Amino acid sequence: MGTSMPKNGRRDFCSVRRAAWILNLHPSAISRAVRVGELRAEPRNGRLVIPESELTRLLAGAAVAQDGGRK
């Protein structure tokens, strides 16, 4: 039986609810973003899951937006 946890202890994917919690959004906002193509999701075991790389991309974009793009 496989595990969804890689050896570094992090998950590769998270549920729509967990992604909403991480991004401080309502789960319906996450579902809408997936539906309109702003957020990539994959079907796994009959559910949509969000790759953690997508969350990292969104969080990095939010940090740049708050910083105004300055370094």
What pTM was estimated for this model as a whole?
0.71
What is the residue-averaged pLDDT of the chain? Answer: 83
Q: Are 12 and 52 in contact (CB under 8 A)?
A: yes
Q: What is the DSSP string of 11-31?
A: -SEEEHHHHHHHHT--HHHHH
Q: What is the pLDDT of residues 48-58, one digit of tens each?
A: 999 999 999 98
Q: At what angle do helices 16-23 and 27-36 cross, to 10 degrees?
A: 110
